[in-house]
Structure 1
Amino acid sequence: MSDAVVGRSHRAPAGRAKLREIIDKSKHLLDLPVTYKLAIVPGSDTGAIEMALWNLLGHTGVEVCCWENFGFTWLADIVGQLKLTDVTVHRADTYGSIPDLAKVNFEHDVVFTWNGTTSGVCVPGDSWIPETRKGLTICDATSAAFGMEIDYRKLDVVTWSWQKALGGEGAHGMIALSPAAIERLSTFTPDRPLPKIFRLVKQGVLLGEIFDGSTINTPSMLAVEDALDTLNWCIDIGGQAELIRRSRRNLDTIARWVSANPHIDFLATDARTTSSTSICLKFRHDVFDALTDTGKADFTRRVCAKVEENGAGYDIGSHREAPPGLRIWGGPTVETEDIDRLLPWIDWAFLETTREFA
């Protein structure tokens, strides 16, 4: 890009203008309420969600919804690191299911992932979240933002990263705050030390400059240019509505393949909660089912290796914390035609591996 500011300071007017442009275009694309503030923060989505947990929790009780690796990670931090004791856990029975969200008490703060990246299980919309609530809703939306329909008015804190639905480089996170979250920051002082990299308040005053293009640490201006290029592409193809349609087309393509093949199924146990971005799958076959957990993991690695050796697909194995299976990224930056090309290779690799284990 002719106006790229790579090699320049992020604090210079030109660098800060680029960061502010990412904030403005992200708010526009996601249709965030005008009263929400948005900032670029360090540490990818992990840094963003940890920033929210460390700054905001402890004012009231906390409800944590867990059904996959990252939800359980935030629970471990809330209990093990923040040492909070008034914590209610809503835990899924199995990987692939979701807890009973009707039991969540919104008098408390609520922490949850919109989409479980490692399980392919997302919340079934937002009807379970009341318009009026006493506690804050704190949502890790890293594999949902830009790829799924979200009413952001139902969320007081939203976090995501550039590398998920936008397909960009890692290390940079974003955090959006509602007026209720901003008020909490201004009136509540947590009884814990806050690392500099997490601080959103100084002497009781919100650090407003980070919502205007300033950053707590030094961002990569090369990654900034990449993010802006992607955001401009998102706008050019039709905005949020088209991004959601692209992701849904990818899921629909895989759903047709699953219906036609008895050896594969979604890890999600309810079609209403099947992710359209991180599409997680499990094998169903007598040979596979008879294997030990170690054998199933080895079987899956061999399937993925055969696909990769032929250049047909990369990094399609499930997350290390998830049951052995496949995870196909279906976010809006992925072309449906490429998924169409991938699926027959998975069928072939599965058949070859089955013969090896039979």
Structure 2
Amino acid sequence: MPLSALPPLRLGKDRLAKAISESKRILNIPEDYLVGILPASDTGAFEAAMWSVLGPRPVTVLVWESFSDGWATDISKQLKLNPTILKADYGSIPDLNSIDWSNDVVFVANGTTSGVKVPNWDWVPDNREGLSICDATSAVFAMEIDWSKIDVLTYSWQKCLGGEAAHGMLILSPRAVARIESYDPPWPMPKIFRMKKSGKVNKGIFEGDTINTPSMLCVEDYLDALQWADGIGLENLYKKSLANLKVVEDWVVRTPWIDFLATSKEIRSNTSVCLSVVSEKVKALSKDDQAKFLKGISSELSKRGVAHDINSYKDAPPGYRFWCGPTIEEASIKNALEELEKVYNEKIKTL
């Protein structure tokens, strides 16, 4: 149905409110949590959260890939809060049992550049004093979220739903709302981060009255994506992503020159699947030559229209990264891996 055919009450704010209510329903978010739409994708939503809630307590940041490292940098250099940083190398995860939960704790649910996710939610205590602040942009709709362990969570429309970029979702528990209402940050607050009005959380943001004007075309696309997700069902979205991961796992088992970057199965991502090339021939090359060799293979796959932008992140060990979220079909993953193996076997003969 074209937008022009929609009754007036279904346009504008009502469509935004529906995007919020449908997100809340489909994701089984508790009734007393607030859900809002913010500008600038997951990044904007997460920055707004950090600038609004951090400061009253010490902060711990869990870092195991590039995006969590970026949050640690912003907290250290922009907000100047001198956080405790628990860091792990690519493929690993910090010791989740060593966290001081009298602090606010900032973390990603899934590391998109390392292929490492949190193994479960048991490590977040129910009686925590600090807030649990989670960037879950590559986890929501593909991995189970225990909302009792969450105080702040953000995601974007594009990752697991394949929607349009530029809009972020912010989810606040009652504890996070209480923090915002009881705390006035000492730094200047940009307009697009302001969530408080007259000493209270600005409820309008969580009812479709967004801080700035969003693209209504993107909103309609998100509503369409939510309808698709609802038709499949949340549990089946998880299963689709896990089935895609299983395709990669089976291929890795029978392919000696490749392995997962994640050091253990329990932390292996089922969305941003990162693979490390372990061939002795390739490892014997300099780092620059390794990158050149592997990029040559990925370029060939892109030319064939099989897979695009599959190179590992620039700071990660040499290898490949495949998106295996619920919008991807098993057949597409199988085809991409078969072609990768063919091209690799051709190119390795040149070394």
Regarding TM over 0.5, the answer is yes
Query: How many Å separate the matches in 1 of 2:133 and 2:121?
Result: 13
31, 45, 58: which one aligns with 1:34: 31
Secondary structure at the counterpart of residue 11 of structure 2: helix
The alignment status of 1:263 with 2:257, answered yes or no, reads yes
The alpha-carbon deviation at position 2 of structure 1 amounts to: 3.4
1:354 paired residue number? 348
1:43-85 CA-to-partner distances (Å, cap 9, x unmatched) read 1000011011100001100010000000100000000000112
Q: Match for 2:85 among 61, 82, 89? A: 89
After the TM superposition, which of the residue ranges 55-64 and 203-212 deviates more from structure 2?
A: 203-212
What is the aligned partner in structure 2 of residue 211 from structure 1?
Answer: 206
Match of 2:280 in 1: 286
Of the candidates 310, 328, 337, which is equivalent to residue 304 of structure 2? 310
SS in 1 for 2:155: strand
Q: Which amino acid aligns with 1:289?
A: K
SS where residue 332 of structure 1 aligns?
coil
CA contact (8 A) 1:303 1:346 kept: yes
Counterpart position of 1:276: 270
Q: Secondary structure at the match of 1:182?
A: helix
C-alpha distance in structure 2 between counterparts of 1:13 and 1:260, whole Å: 53
Map Cα deviations across residues 190-243 of structure 1 (whole Å, 9 max, x no partner). Answer: 111110010001231211101001111111111111111110011112x21011
> Does 2:340 align with 1:337?
no
Farther-moved stretch of structure 1 (200-209 vs 36-45)? 200-209
Shift of 1:3: 4.4
Whether contact under 8 Å (1:5, 1:15) holds in the other structure is no
Alpha-carbon deviation of 1:19? 0.8
Alignment partner, residue 64 of structure 1: 61
How far off its partner does 1:319 sit? 2.1
Superposition RMSD in Å: 1.6
- 3-state SS in 2 of match to 1:59: coil
Any residues of structure 2 matched to 1:159-174 within 5 Å, and which? 159-174=154-169
Q: Does 1:241 align with 2:235?
A: yes
Contact 1:114-1:123 at 8 Å conserved across structures: yes
Is the 1:44–1:173 Cα contact (8 Å) retained in structure 2? yes
- Which residue of 2 is the match for residue 154 of structure 1? 149
Written as runs of structure 1 = structure 2, the 5 A alignment for 1:119-130 is 119-130=114-125
- What's the CA shift string for 1:294-334, capped at 9, x where partnerless? 11111121110111111111121122332221110000011
Structure 1 5/214 Cα, relative in aligned 2: closer, same or farther at 3 Å?
Answer: farther
In the alignment, the residues of structure 2 paired with residue 44 and residue 138 of structure 1 have an alpha-carbon distance, to the nearest angstrom, of 17
Give distance in 2, aligned partners of 1:21 and 1:4: 18
Aligned length: 351
Superposed CA offset, 1:257-282 (max 9, x none) = 00010111111011100000000111
Q: Partner of 1:199 in structure 2? A: 194
CA distance in structure 2 between the partners assigned to 1:5 and 1:73 by the alignment: 44
After TM superposition, the score normalised by the length of structure 2 is 0.97
Choose the corresponding residue for 2:226, options 231, 240, 253: 231
* Residues 4 and 352 of structure 1, relative CA distance in 2, 3 Å threshold: farther
Contact 1:60 1:135 in 2 (8 A): yes
1:338 is aligned with what amino acid? S
State how far apart, in whole Å, the 2-side matches of 1:115 and 1:175 are. Answer: 17
For 2:59, give the aligned amino acid.
Answer: V
Whole-angstrom CA distance in 2 between matches of 1:49 and 1:306: 36
Deviation at 1:115, TM superposition (A): 0.1
- Deviation per CA, 1:121-151, whole angstroms, max 9, x where unpaired? 0011101011111100000000000000110
Separation (CA, whole Å) in 2 of partners of 1:256 and 1:269: 17
2:179 aligns with: 184
